[in-house]
Structure 1
Amino acid sequence: MPSPKELPPRRPEPPAPDDSAVRWERIDIDRYEVSAAAATVGFIDVVGAVFVVLAGPRYDRAVEVLQTLDFPVAVAAISPAGVQRPSD
């Protein structure tokens, strides 16, 4: 597996499916806001090829919980239990 420095930068992720209980929206060139039941549950920062997952309703107080190369894994990491999560 190549090192993160050797991986290409990410392209923007497509929007969440219309029927998804967990939604994400690109709010900046390198940041997504993730919500469930119309409430913000966290953020995903794109740093090169890595998704940095932050849990919490406010970005300035959110806590890093995961770094991953897989966007669905990043969304699932901050999705509430029992909520339908994105598939690959």
Structure 2
Amino acid sequence: MSILKVSVRQIKAARALLGWAQDDLAARSGLSAPTIKRLEAADGELGGRAETREAVLSALREGGIEFIPENGGGIGVRLAKRQRRSK
């Protein structure tokens, strides 16, 4: 699976939507808090190793975030619709 290219601003916006601090993202992604702080200190595209980027994106997706690619309206993030459980 190809890794979606996302910006640091999208990561910060995703955390804000979820109400997560950098420490929360670190814990949920299995990365260290200093790693998250270092990644978010830059601007532009999310840097780091492919495994690190995937850990960050996976944690945010599991939290309910959907990343929106450039589609003419600009990149972004949103809370994904939750699937209803059938009874």
Fold equivalence (TM over 0.5): no
If asked which structure has higher relative contact order (CA below 8 Å, sep 6+), I would say 2
TM-score between both structures, scaled by the size of structure 2:
0.28
Return the index of the structure with the highest Cα Rg: 2
User: By percentage of residues, which structure has more strand?
Assistant: 1
User: By percentage of residues, which structure has more helix?
Assistant: 2
TM-score between both structures, scaled by the size of structure 1:
0.27
